[in-house]
Amino acid sequence: MRNARDKGARGKGIGLGLAAWLAGILFFLPIAWMVLTSFHSEEDAATNPPSLAAPLTLDGYRDFFGTGGGASPWPSLINSTVASLASTLLVLVLALPAAYALSLRPVKKWTDVLFFFLSTKMLPVVAGLLPIYLFAKNTGMLDNIWLLVLLYTSMNLPIAVWMMQSFLAEVPKPVIEAAQIDGARLPTILTRVVAPIALPGIAATSLICFIFSWNELLFARVLTGVVAQTAPVFLTGFITSQGLFLAKVCAASLVISLPVLAAGFAAQDKLVQGLSLGAVK
């Protein structure tokens, strides 16, 4: 009796496992198709019905990198790297002390300050875009990568303060107090006690800031042109892509998504915790 019930449960378990696999494959199918298409010649990519057996080629990637004619994506990839890394660094410099003050020391009305940071995240980007554009135009900052660095910092700083606040709050207070009693000074406490516990969280925060900066389109589209163009802006060049450029579009999209895909896969768990502002542990 009990055995039969177990067997039934196991059968159902296998069925649900299969359902999960099916869902996973279904969600991944568009990306798998994109990968396959990126390795096809443009002629084979644009057939209907699609051909699975078409020979593989690197032409799409060659075209994308400009060796087969067309604009080189390298300047835009370098711009994206500079903008994302520099703004992540600036976020860390600004957010770490703030998060430290908010989590470890009693600052009056600290929750109000936290909510102020969060509320700026709800301010739509378009609400400040025009003055920023006019400012940039009048000061000659248009098409300048460092303006993007500043804006990306403001975009990510609230999230970073929230996340780091929650990561730093995980450092047990008694441990810090014990270190203080033992005569440890602030730098020692920070490097020996706080850093080991909070470092994985800080790394995750940096990763998320990097991803958001790398992905951003609206600011970059409005405020950059030729010189400071970022990778997503480069991709918008394919929006009206007509006819035989499918392999190139796929190759471009995949190469430009690669840093985000790699970073995201590497930090799946911390990514959730970070994206939910530390509320989900």
> Residue 218 interacts with other proteins (CB under 8 A)?
yes
65-94 mask for other proteins (x: CB under 8 A)?
----------------------------xx
Which region among 53-61, 171-179, 183-191, 243-251 touches other proteins (by CB under 8 A)? 243-251
Residue with tokens 């032409």: 59
Pick from 152, 149, 193: nearest CA to 175: 193
> Residue 53 interacts with other proteins (CB under 8 A)?
no
Which region among 102-110, 175-183, 184-192, 201-209 touches other proteins (by CB under 8 A)? 102-110
Interface with other proteins (CB under 8 A), residue from 60, 73, 201, 232: 232
169-208 mask for other proteins (x: CB under 8 A)?
----------------------------------------
> Residue 129 interacts with other proteins (CB under 8 A)?
yes
| Token pair belonging to 10 | 């196991």
Which region among 71-79, 152-160, 173-181, 185-193 touches other proteins (by CB under 8 A)? 152-160
Nearer to other proteins, 107 or 197 (CB): 107
